[in-house]
Amino acid sequence: MARPEDSAWAVSVAQVASRPGQTKLIDAVFPAPSGIGDNIIGVREGADVSVTGSFDSIVDGLILTAHINAPVQAECTRCLKPIERDWGVDVTAFFPYDSPEDSRNSKEEVDIIAGEDESEDTYPLSRDGAFADLEALLRDTLVEALPLQPLCREDCRGLCPQCGIDLNEHLDHHHETTDLRFAALADLKAQLEQEERERNA
Ligand SMILES: [Zn+2]
Ligand SMILES: [Zn+2]
C-alpha cells in the first residue's frame, strides 16, 4: 500500500497537528493533478502549481489558507488563439483530525461524512494525521476556478463570420461582395421580373 508521504502532493503537518494554535507556512510547487479542464481550457497535468499560505491548527483539525497559482492553457472563445497565462485563486480548506478507529469501525458513516465534507472544502488527513494530501484540493479548486469564456483579451474582435480571418490583425477587414445567399436571391428576383415582363409583353 502506498504511504501517504509518497504522494507528490503530501505536506507534512505532524508538527502543527499536535496541538491547536500552531502555524506551518507553506510555499511549495506541486505538479498539477490530472483532470483539470479539457482540451479547450485546463491545466496541463504535471505543470507547476505553486501554493503559498499556511496550515493553522485548531482543536479539531487544520485550516489551510492559501493562494494557488497555476498556468492555464485555453483557447480564446472569440478568435481561437491559444492563451497561456497564470491563474491565481485563493482557497480555504479544512483538514479534520480523523481518529483511525472511527474510520475502521464504520466505513458507511465515513462515506456519509465525506459526502457532506465535499461541499465544505474539507479534505482528509492521512490515517496517522501526519500528512495533508493536496491533490484533490488542487484539482477541485482549479477546476472550479477555470474561466468559462476565456478571452485572449477583453476586447478581442474575434473572427470574421464570413471568411474566418482574425479581425484583431485586420482592423479594416470587410467584404465588398454581397453575401452569396443574398446574391442568389437577387438573381432569382431578377429572373422572376424578367419572366413577368415577357408575360406582359
Ligand atoms: Zn481572442
Ligand atoms: Zn471576412
**Which residues make up the environment of ion ligand 1, defined by Cβ < 5 Å?**
76, 78-79, 152, 156
Neighbours of 134 (CB within 10 A): 27
C-alpha angle with apex 155: 151 to 158, nearest 5 degrees?
65
Rg (CA), the chain: 29
Q: How far is the CA of 162 from the centre of ligand 2 (A)?
A: 5
Give the C-alpha separation, 82 to 45, whole Å. 17
pLDDT at residue 170 is higher than 50: yes
Nearest ligand to the CA of 158 is 1
Distance 170 CA to ligand 1 centre (A): 13
CB under 8 Å to 80, separation ≥6 — which residues? 159
User: Cα(148) to centroid of ligand 2, in Å?
Assistant: 27
What percent of the chain clears pLDDT 70, i.e. is strictly above it? 87
Q: What is the mean pLDDT of the chain?
A: 86
CA of 38 to the centre of ligand 2 (A): 30
| pLDDT at position 135 | 96
Contact at 8 Å (CB) between 122 and 93?
A: yes
Q: Output the pLDDT for position 116.
A: 46
- C-alpha 49/C-alpha 107 separation (Å) is 33
Choose between 43 and 108: higher pLDDT.
43
Ligand 2 centroid to residue 11 C-alpha, Å? 54
pLDDT tens column, 78-97? 999 999 989 999 999 999 98
**Cell match 465515513: residue?**
110
The residue among 59, 69, 47, 57 whose CA lies nearest residue 22 is 57
What backbone phi and psi angles, to 5 degrees, belong to 159?
-105, 150
